[in-house]
C-alpha cells in the first residue's frame, strides 16, 4: 500500500458554488497497492469521498475502452496505467516544477481526453466527435456479390493483418492525442482511418478502390496526417493507427495510382525525392516539386499546379515568419547547403537499401520488447519496435 494524490481536472456543469463554475482542479488522496491502476485510484476517490466524480469505466482490464483520459499529459486508459508508475512519471515531470501537493508527494495529473468536448469531469462527448468520424468511413464490410455457400477462402496472413485494426477498442486515446486534429478538427483521424484500413485490407471487401479514392480525396483524409507518432504512443492495444494510415497512403498512391485533389501523393513523392537528392529538406524545391513535378512540370505547369502554388504562398510566408522555413535565401533554388563529407552518399545508400523491399509491419502480433526471433526482412529497422513474429509482407519495389 502506498499513498497517492490524484489531481483531477473537473467540470461540474450544474455546479452552483462560485468556485466550481467552469473547469477547476480537485485533489484526492488515495491509498492503494502500486500495482493497481489509476482507475482503481479514481474509483476509491469516488466510492469513498465524492460520488459525483464522473468517469466512464467498466471492464477494468483494457478491453471495453471506456476510461480514456490523459494521465500526466499522456492520452491512455486509466485502467491500464499502474498508479505506481504514474506517480513515478509525475515525479519525473515535476522535477524542478511546483506540481507537488501539500504533503510533498508528486501529484498524478488526470484530465479528460483532448479533441472532444467535456460533458462532466472526465466524461467527454465522443458521439459528436469520435463516433461521427467512425461513421464517415462506411464502417462495414461490402463484399461484391452474394456470399459463398461456406466461408470466404482467404489467407491466414490477411486475417491476422486486419486483426491489428480489429483489435481497436474505440477508446479514443489516439483521437485525444492527435496533433493534426488539433489543427483541423474535421480530420477523420487515427481511429477512424485505422477502421478504414480494416476494410481496405480485407480481401473479402469489394469496394477497395472506391474506399481508397474517397480517403485520398477527402480534404481531411489520409494526407491530413503529419506523421507525428502520437497516436501510436497513445494506443493501448498496439493498433498503431499511424501505420495503418501510411499503409492506406501506399495503397492509394502507389498501388492504385490515385492522383488525389489534395496533391498529397505528389507532395509525399516530392519529399522523398528531395531528401534523396539533397540529404536534408530543401524547401525551395519542395513546393514546386509537389505541385509541378519534374522537368515537364517546370516547363509546362498545369493551371491546377499554378493554382496550388499560388494558394501555398501564404503558408510559405507563415513558415518564414515562424521560423519553420529557416531563412529567406534558402528559398532561392540552388542556395541549399550541402551535407558535410560523404553524408550525402550515406543517405543515398539508405535509399538503395530501402527500395529493395517494402515491409508491412504488423505490430499486433509481434509484441513489444527486444526479442530476436527471426523477423524476415526486418533487419535494420528499430529493434525495440519490431521483433519476434513480425508480420512481414514483401512487395516488389517500383
Per-residue contact track with other proteins, 167 to 186, x per CB under 8 A?
x-xx----------------
Nearest-approach distance from CB 379 to other proteins, in angstroms? 18
Q: Given candidates 366, 378, 386, 392, which one binds other proteins under the rule CB under 8 A?
A: 366
> Does residue 92 bind other proteins (CB under 8 A)?
no
Q: Given candidates 1, 156, 299, 332, which one binds other proteins under the rule CB under 8 A?
A: 156
Q: Which range touches other proteins (CB under 8 A), out of 99-107, 174-182, 341-349, 365-373?
A: 365-373
- What residues numbered 34-53 form the site for other proteins, per CB under 8 A? 35-36, 46-48, 50-52
- What residues numbered 199-218 form the site for other proteins, per CB under 8 A? 202, 204
> Does residue 27 bind other proteins (CB under 8 A)?
no
> Does residue 383 bind other proteins (CB under 8 A)?
no
Q: Which range touches other proteins (CB under 8 A), out of 11-19, 89-97, 306-314, 318-326?
A: 11-19
Q: Which range touches other proteins (CB under 8 A), out of 121-129, 181-189, 322-330, 350-358?
A: 121-129
Q: State the Rg of the chain over Cα.
A: 24
Q: Which residues bind other proteins (CB under 8 A)?
A: 12-14, 35-36, 46-48, 50-52, 54, 56-66, 80, 82, 119-120, 123, 126-127, 135, 139-141, 143, 147-148, 150-156, 159-160, 162-163, 166-167, 169-170, 202, 204, 238, 364-367, 371, 373, 388-389
Amino acid at each position: 500500500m502506498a499513498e497517492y494524490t490524484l489531481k483531477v481536472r473537473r467540470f461540474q456543469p450544474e455546479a452552483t458554488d462560485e468556485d466550481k463554475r467552469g473547469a477547476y482542479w480537485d485533489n484526492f488522496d488515495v491509498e492503494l497497492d502500486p500495482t493497481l491502476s489509476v482507475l482503481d485510484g479514481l474509483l476509491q476517490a469516488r466510492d469513498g469521498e465524492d460520488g459525483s466524480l464522473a468517469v466512464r469505466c467498466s471492464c477494468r482490464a483494457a478491453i471495453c475502452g471506456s476510461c480514456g483520459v490523459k494521465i500526466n499529459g499522456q492520452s491512455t486508459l486509466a485502467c491500464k496505467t499502474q498508479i505506481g508508475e504514474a506517480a513515478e512519471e509525475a515525479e519525473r515531470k515535476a522535477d524542478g516544477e511546483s506540481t507537488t501537493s501539500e504533503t510533498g508527494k508528486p501529484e498524478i495529473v488526470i484530465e479528460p481526453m483532448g479533441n472532444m468536448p467535456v460533458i462532466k469531469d472526465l466524461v467527454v462527448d465522443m458521439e459528436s466527435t469520435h463516433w461521427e468520424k467512425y461513421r464517415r468511413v462506411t464502417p462495414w464490410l461490402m463484399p461484391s456479390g452474394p456470399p459463398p455457400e461456406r466461408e470466404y477462402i482467404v489467407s491466414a496472413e490477411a486475417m491476422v493483418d486486419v486483426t491489428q485494426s480489429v483489435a481497436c477498442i474505440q477508446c479514443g486515446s489516439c483521437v485525444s492525442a492527435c496533433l493534426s486534429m488539433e489543427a483541423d478538427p474535421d480530420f477523420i483521424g487515427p481511429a477512424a482511418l485505422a477502421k478504414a484500413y480494416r476494410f481496405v485490407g480485407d480481401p473479402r471487401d469489394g469496394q477497395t478502390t472506391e474506399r481508397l479514392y474517397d480517403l485520398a480525396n477527402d480534404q481531411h483524409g489520409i494526407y491530413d496526417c503529419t506523421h507525428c507518432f502520437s497516436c501510436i504512443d497513445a494506443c493501448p492495444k498496439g493498433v498503431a493507427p499511424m501505420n495503418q494510415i501510411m499503409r492506406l497512403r501506399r495503397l492509394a498512391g502507389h498501388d492504385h495510382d490515385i492522383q488525389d485533389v489534395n496533391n498529397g501523393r505528389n507532395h509525399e513523392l516530392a519529399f522523398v525525392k528531395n531528401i534523396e537528392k539533397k540529404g536534408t529538406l530543401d524547401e525551395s524545391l519542395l513546393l514546386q516539386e509537389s505541385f509541378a513535378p519534374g522537368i515537364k512540370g517546370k516547363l509546362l505547369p498545369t493551371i491546377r499546379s499554378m493554382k496550388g502554388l499560388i494558394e501555398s504562398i501564404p503558408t510559405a510566408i507563415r513558415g518564414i515568419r515562424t521560423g519553420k522555413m529557416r531563412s529567406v535565401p534558402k528559398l532561392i533554388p540552388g542556395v541549399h547547403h550541402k551535407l558535410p563529407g560523404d553524408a550525402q552518399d550515406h543517405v543515398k545508400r539508405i535509399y538503395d537499401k530501402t527500395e529493395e523491399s517494402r515491409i508491412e509491419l504488423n505490430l499486433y502480433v509481434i509484441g513489444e520488447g527486444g526479442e530476436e526471433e527471426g523477423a524476415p526482412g526486418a533487419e535494420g529497422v528499430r529493434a525495440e519496435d519490431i521483433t519476434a513474429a513480425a508480420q512481414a509482407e514483401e512487395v516488389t519495389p517500383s
